[in-house]
Structure 1
Amino acid sequence: MGWSIALHGGAGDIPVTLPPELIERREASVAGLRHCLDVGVTALTDGRSALDVVELVVRELENHPRFNAGRGSVLTSAGTVEMEACIMDGMTKNCGAVSGLKTVVNAISLARLVMEKTPHIYLGFDGAEAFAKEQGVETLEPSDFITPENIERLKLAKEADRVQLDYTAPEQKQVLQETHTANEDPDSKLGTVGCVAIDSEGNLAAATSTGGLVNKMVGRIGDTPIVGSGTYANSYCAVSATGRGEHIIRGTIAREVAALMEYKDLPLKEAAAYVIEKCAPRGTVGLVAVSAKGEITMPFNTTGMYRACATQDGYSEIGIL
């Protein structure tokens, strides 16, 4: 059995068509996905473990400003950044998670340090920041994560009096005004990032990272760092979810996929399709998953999801809609 990898850059109400001035931005995001996929493929080809690969790929996604994680994280209602992440090893079920980060450049790597360097699974806010300082991970001033684009996104969300799924790009304001009513939740694209992989030794791993929702309450924790909701891996599969966190938590989306495989003996694609259709409202969730057999699935019930995958036998795919 060979390796397989899948990653996502968020799901939501992604427009089918764009005006010419926005096509370049979409192409830049797709190029970012392609780059991150290439990084993962190279690492797997070089014999890196699935756990190393998912961390590496998510770090790359966190460093890309067009995705809602790391340097691209959206803002809370107070205009601050609160990042969160989770990583899980399928073989051992060891996992680590963090929330409420304001200064850590790569939340996913801090989550792995929580897993490997502490007796705990989950650290948040001041405690997580103190641990990051103790471990010497790369940090920046909180203001360095606050970009003009995300300030504008927060402004638009406040004007509309809504908490937005991922975010609405400011350059799409006119497009959204023309195509959505004031009561709708017009997420543009991009968002929570994640990666799942199985290596050539059969080890599974999952990792997810996000900046959360635009205009979220200070202190809000989403599905990403909650093991079994936004992130899960065991001996059957590895899953990373994206979308409306509250619905993903209620549906324990990632764990449900694994449970259907374990207890109902469903194949990966059938299990994931059932979860997407039955366990969360339409328009709220997407996921990427790989199985112990190297199978890949990337279903969603939103209008689109930024996603990519590859297998050792040469198959690859990058998609949006």
Structure 2
Amino acid sequence: MGGWAIAVHGGAGVDPNLPLERQEQAKVLLTRCLNIGISALRSSLPAIDVVELVVRELESDPLFNSGRGSALTEKGTVEMEASIMDGHGRRCGAVSGVTTVKSPVSLARLVMEKSPHSYLAFSGAEELRPPTGGVEMVDNEYFITEENVGMLQLAKEANTILFDYRIPTVGFDKCSAVVENPLQMNGLPISVYAPETVGCVVVDGEGRCAAATSTGGLMNKMSGRIGDSPLIGAGTYACEVCGVSCTGEGEAIIRGTLAREVAAVMEYKGLGLQEAVDYVVKERLDQGKAGLIAVSRNGEVAYGFNCIGMFRGCATQDGFMEVGIWE
């Protein structure tokens, strides 16, 4: 075994004109979360504990689209989703439609460990209350930021799902709210694509892999829409071989079962980790835009994306550490 490794992401697809101040804020947050994970791994915490710890931290910061700062539905509310998977035994838990649980990833872990199920949604997920506690409740307003309220208004004026609320698309006029030659998702116009998910993958010193992913989804999404993030095998997957967390155009990630495909080509084609990531990004996304992070049981770390950038960071036991946005 090659020791522990960790990777985090804050979404794939970044405006090349994103202000430098915003870029630095993102790098500081990713570095902080990486260091939390590194400390936990040095303390011999299991991989499953580390991915939950890191994603909880990402959910608590409004910079990315998960937990506080989540994108708003067409009704102006927040419906969050998350999943977690322990490659040791392939145990998993997932939640969707969460509106008052402060940390959706921790609720997903409770589904995995304290319920007979793998996936709970909406009121069923919210009502999961083990006697030991473990979930903090807050009002839906806690998750809503002034910036996202403004972006929802823009999306409504344009009559579109804002897939990236930081980038005006070609021909997108905020005044007339006209979209010419828009990109499409399932045949419907969307704005240009961007960061909308957070995730973490870890292999610990024992070679155990784990993955977790959390998101608020799409700005102006239909109430009840579920993306790839809580879907095991699509947005999140972990097994004996690797751990994977995806980000990007959820509908395309779902169609390509992206996270599971990385493990599958490693298992069945014998590809190495980076080779598997590159293959899946190139061959399984069709016209979709996305990215992913991955670790292997051998202590390797890898990432890939087919868009302009991905907020990401990674570190390994041998001292390598990197935080970046662009190619």
Larger relative helix fraction? 1
**Which residue pairs with 1:150 in the alignment?**
148
CA RMSD of aligned residues (A): 2.0
Q: TM-score, normalised by structure 1?
A: 0.92
Q: Choose which of 106, 113, 117 in structure 1 pairs with 2:114.
A: 117
**Which residue pairs with 1:34 in the alignment?**
31
Residue aligned with 1:84, SS: strand
Instruction: Give the letter for the 2:273 counterpart.
Output: L
1:16 aligns with 2:16: yes
Q: Choose which of 79, 85, 88 in structure 2 pairs with 1:88.
A: 85
Aligned length: 313
Instruction: Give the letter for the 2:203 counterpart.
Output: I
Q: What is the distance in 1 between the residues matched to 2:53 and 2:29?
A: 14
Residue aligned with 1:255, SS: helix
Residue aligned with 1:313, SS: coil
**Which residue pairs with 1:6 in the alignment?**
7
**Which residue pairs with 1:160 in the alignment?**
158
1:311 aligns with 2:309: no
Q: What is the distance in 2 between the residues matched to 1:274 and 1:122?
A: 29
Per-residue CA deviation, residues 172-216 of structure 1 (Å, 9 max, x unaligned), is 6699959x9642555475320000000001110000000001111
Residue correspondence of structure 1 range 289-300 to structure 2 within 5 A = 289-300=294-305
Residue aligned with 2:213, SS: strand
Shift of 1:164: 2.6
Shift of 1:314: 0.4
Q: More displaced, 133-142 or 193-202? A: 133-142
Residue aligned with 2:36, SS: helix
Q: More displaced, 193-202 or 138-147? A: 138-147
1:66 aligns with 2:63: yes
Q: What is the distance in 2 between the residues matched to 1:261 and 1:177?
A: 42
Shift of 1:116: 0.4
Distance 1:177 1:162, change over 3 A: closer
Q: TM-score, normalised by structure 2?
A: 0.91
Residue correspondence of structure 1 range 222-241 to structure 2 within 5 A = 222-241=227-246
**Which residue pairs with 1:79 in the alignment?**
76
Q: Choose which of 291, 314, 325 in structure 2 pairs with 1:320.
A: 325
Q: Choose which of 208, 212, 215 in structure 1 pairs with 2:217.
A: 212
Contact 2:193 2:249 in 1 (8 A): no
Q: In structure 1, list runs of 5 or more residues that go unmatched.
A: none
Q: What is the distance in 2 between the residues matched to 1:208 and 1:227?
A: 10
Contact 1:81 1:145 in 2 (8 A): yes
Per-residue CA deviation, residues 13-33 of structure 1 (Å, 9 max, x unaligned), is x22234xxx321221111111
Instruction: Give the letter for the 1:89 counterpart.
Output: D
Per-residue CA deviation, residues 1-20 of structure 1 (Å, 9 max, x unaligned), is 310000100012x22234xx
Distance 1:176 1:315, change over 3 A: farther
Residue aligned with 1:299, SS: strand
Per-residue CA deviation, residues 91-110 of structure 1 (Å, 9 max, x unaligned), is 11000000000001100000
Q: What is the distance in 1 between the residues matched to 2:168 and 2:43?
A: 44
1:277 aligns with 2:288: no
Shift of 1:295: 1.1
Q: More displaced, 114-123 or 185-194? A: 185-194
